Chain A
Amino acid sequence: EPEVTQTPSHQVTQMGQEVILRCVPISNHLYFYWYRQILGQKVEFLVSFYNNEISEKSEIFDDQFSVERPDGSNFTLKIRSTKLEDSAMYFCASSLNRDRKYSNQPQHFGDGTRLSIL
């Protein structure tokens, strides 16, 4: 069964450094997402991406964050200058399509990248 893959599984970075988290969505999916989960808390939406542009972003997704689909298979999340509070599990997800008027197809998640900021 096709799956979303994320690398690395664990990233340790010094505060203030840039970090890039990588994802390979399911190949025929068109919509891509990043979520994060701070330890013991809810899964929170960060950003959605469709047709090579951001379609929605949350308040968490400030100027320090950016997303890119550099080629036909990868989807990346960059944090320019990491803070201690960026420590979390970051999940990538993808979905096949979305009927804007009526309903949404399920989002399928990868196993995440654990980001630890020192």
Chain B
Amino acid sequence: EDQVTQSPEALRLQEGESSSLNCSYTVSGLRGLFWYRQDPGKGPEFLFTLYSAGEEKEKERLKATLTKKESFLHITAPKPEDSATYLCAVVNTDKLIFGTGTRLQVFP
């Protein structure tokens, strides 16, 4: 059965303190791994798509990487506005299978 596990569940960082979020997955034939950001009361906002092991994508302070079993979302020198829940999802035929997310809080 396809599955996505994210860790940690919650992460508190001081502004400027870099860290990484983990997404482990099992899927029969990876056709895409997606990272989303979700703010309270809002829908998931698309960040990155990764399709094959070794691929990396960057956007501002965020960098996503992919191996055959997991993906990492690296946050460099975070700011308070980076506070949100970060969701990882893999695609199986039509549907996205989401993890439970990592709730990130960045304090000034």
- Give A residues with C-beta under 8 Å from B: 4, 6, 31, 33, 35, 41-45, 48, 50, 55-56, 58, 91, 93, 98, 102-112
Contacts and interface: CB of A to CB of B under 8 A. Distances in A.
Lowest 10 CB-CB distances: which A-B pairs, in order? A109-B43, A45-B95, A48-B94, A56-B94, A43-B98, A104-B91, A104-B32, A111-B43, A109-B44, A106-B46
Contacts of A41: 100
Of the four ranges (under 10, 10 to 19, 20 to 34, 35 or more), the interface on chain B belongs to 20 to 34
Contact of B95 (A6, A56, A112): A56
Contacts of A50: 94
The main secondary structure of chain A at its interface with chain B is: strand
Interface of B: 31-32, 34, 36, 41-46, 49, 51, 87, 89, 91, 93-101
B49 A112 contact: no
Most A CB within 10 A of own CB, among B32, B34, B96: B96
B46 A107 contact: yes
A102 B94 contact: no
Given A103-B32, A106-B34, A33 B44 contact: no
Contacts of B96: 33, 35, 43, 45, 107
A91 B46 CA distance: 14
Contacts of B31: 102-104
Given A43-B89, A56-B94, 12 more contacts: A35-B96, A43-B44, A44-B98, A45-B97, A48-B94, A56-B95, A93-B43, A103-B32, A104-B31, A104-B91, A105-B49, A106-B49
Contacts of B49: 105-106
